[in-house]
Each structure stands twice: as C-alpha cells, then as structure tokens.
Amino acid sequence: MRIVKLTEESRKNLLEELLKRSPNQYGEYEAKVNEIIQAVRERKDEALLEYTGQFDEWQPSVDTLRVTQEEIEEAYTHLEPAFIEVMKKSAENIRHFHEKQMQNSWFDARPDGTILGMKILPIEKAGVYVPGGKAAYPSSVLMNVLPAKVAGVKRIIMTTPAGAGGKVNPGTLVAADLAGVQEIYKVGGAQAIAAMAFGTQTIPKVDKITGPGNIFVALAKKACFGYVSIDSIAGPSEILVIADETANPRYIAADLLSQAEHDELASAILVTDSEELAEQVAGQVEQLVQELSRKEIMQKSLDNYGYILLVKDMEEAVETANAIASEHLEILTRDPFQIMTKIQYAGAIFLGEYSSEPLGDYFAGPNHVLPTNGTARFFSPLNVDDFRKKTSIIAYSKEALEEVHQDIELFAEKEGLTAHAKSIAVRFE
C-alpha cells in the first residue's frame, strides 16, 4: 500500500479520487438502464422474461418466475446445519437491535383544545433486491428484510437472479425463509427494479425498494426514485481505520483487506500518526494478500484506492475521517471512545481491536446497509424508520384558533396568498 503524508493538497486529491467511484459517475450505462425500465413499464412480464433469458443462464416462463415452497425446502438440504444455526443467531441479533428503534404514534393534547401528533404506520409493500450471479449474500437478505418485518410491513417482495437451470443460491433462500419472506421472484438486474417500481402481471408494485446490486441495479434505483422510495444509491464498499502506535498492524491489515476483497473499486484507508505503524501495516498487507483467495481483486483495489495516510496527530486524523465520511470506520487507538466522540460522519463505527468490520457485516445486529461515497454526511444506516410512514395530526378547537387566527392571516397575506388568509378569516366573520 502506498504511504502518503497528508497535506491539504493530498487530502483534496484523495477526496476527488474517491468520488470517482460513485454510481453517479457511470453515465454511459444510463441509456441502457432507461431502455430496460421503459420496456418493463410497457411490456411488463413479457419484457421480464426476455431480459432474464438474455442476461441469466436459464429461460423462464411466467409459471417459473416465483420460487416455490419445494425449492425453499430443497435449499435447506444443501446447507450445513451449523451454518443455518449461525444465520438464526444473526437474525435474532438483527431483530433485537432493530426493535429498539421502534417509535409509536403520539399525540399532545393541550388545555386550549389543541391536539398535535404524529401517526406512524408501516408501509404496505416493501421490495428487497438481493444480488446473485457471481456471489450471494444471505447476510444482505437478513439486513434488508428484518427491519421491514420489525416495522410491521405486511408484504415483502424479494427479487434475486437465478443461476443455471433457474436455481437460486440455497443460502439466499434459507435466509429469506428465516427472515419471513413469502414472495421471492427469480429476476435480477435493472429489470427487477423496474418490475418492483411499476409492477407487472406477476410482480406487484411496491412502496420502497432496498438492497445492494451492481451498477445497473444502482442506476435503475436512481431512475425509479420518485415513482418509488429507495434506501440509497450504494457505491463500492469502503473502510477507514484510525490507529495510533498501540494498534496491532496485522489486525489492521486484515481489516483493510476485508473490504478490498469486495471489488476493484473498494476503498481501504489507514489514517495514523505513527510512521512505524504505517510501515508495519504496509508489510502485513503485502503478506496477507498472498495468503487470501481473492488476491487479484484485492490488489487492484489497493492499487487504485488503497492508502496509508500519515497525519501529524489524532486531531488531524479525526478531521480526515470526517472529511471522507467513510461507510465503515474502525478506531484502534489507546482510547477509542474518546476519539469516537469527535467523529461526526460515518456509516458505522467500530471501537477497539476486537470489533472488526465483519462483526457488523454478519452478526452484531446493527444494519450493514450503510451510506457510501461520503453520503454518511447526510444519510443513515438502513433502519426501521425506512419502512414506516409518518403523518402529522393537527386538531384545533374554535377557541384555540381564535387566539392565533390574526397571526396566521398576516403570515399568509405577507406571502401574497389571500385565499390562505381567507380560509382562516371566514371562521370569524
């Protein structure tokens, strides 16, 4: 990994390089994505079947698009019982964490007859996209479905591409069953997003779409936003580690590579004030890359977006972390909690040497669907509120309105909206 002494110029260059990884930079794919979306809007199932046959390794029919109960039961036979038990434990941790986020409707009644409040209800239908093809992520099934279930969503639609012969990854199916999904369709790519956004004869239109995917999925979610709600337009994975001289260089190297192995655009950054640690981590990274299975992907990721940034002190390290606003932030310092209090922007923060990033990916309970590409400055992790709709409640008595009607009329008149003012005034003529 390259070691860079941080300056204003190098920080600016780094931020510009990282932003190039955003899906917003891949405009050359938008025309194809829009073509797919329009075809699905117009021709519905017919277009779904065509694109699935074109892009995937099987020829579907309307009757084979939906996963059957027999396929789910068969999936269990392909997994080790120990793995199924681990998924059950993970699901329980995720469910328990998200139950803490629940808010109920509330009302504030005052003596003058005013009632103000918030009515909070789950959305009716949620759509979850789960990647397939080269890799499958049962953990993403749990992370996307369980917050919706906790929120009280009545109907969850899941789409995922099938492989050869129309077979869906067994881990994906078992995770979906454990999470309580009852409708799973063998559709992937932009066409799956379009189907959930606009509806077809087979796949219903949903209210919100969540879940990760490739560039076509990300751009389709972007194009459909407004017709349907989405979680975010996710970019490549990223990790930033803040460490001082007390940190274990081998732990840091392993944690950096845990994200570099995702894909060639993943970003892995160490920020430290210890030149000795920087050199040790660089050596450990070089050694570990050779030991791991996805070394070509990791090496490209590190060559393009891997950095060890040398800063003068921890204050500058915190400034840098806040500027980057990383998806995952690990703090491996003498007092990680003290550093954590100064962090304003990060998707998830991992404190101490036994809280490595994969703990959050798989098991701890907080959601691993996190903002990327600096969007942690204004986006939050996927949570229960993403699947609940809030409606304001306003009720005034005649006496309460009488006290303030002239104030409201004045406000409306100053904005030139005389009908607004009249709507209040007629009640006191």
So which residues are the catalytic ones?
A: 327-328
**CA–CA dist 49, 28 (Å, integer):** 25
- Residues forming a β-bridge with 7: none
Determine the Cα–Cα distance for residues 195 and 183; give it in Å rounded to an integer.
14
Determine the Cα–Cα distance for residues 79 and 73; give it in Å rounded to an integer: 11
Which of 65, 70, 27 minimizes the C-alpha distance to 49? 65
**Measured between alpha carbons, how far is 76 from 63 in angstroms, rounded to an integer?**
23
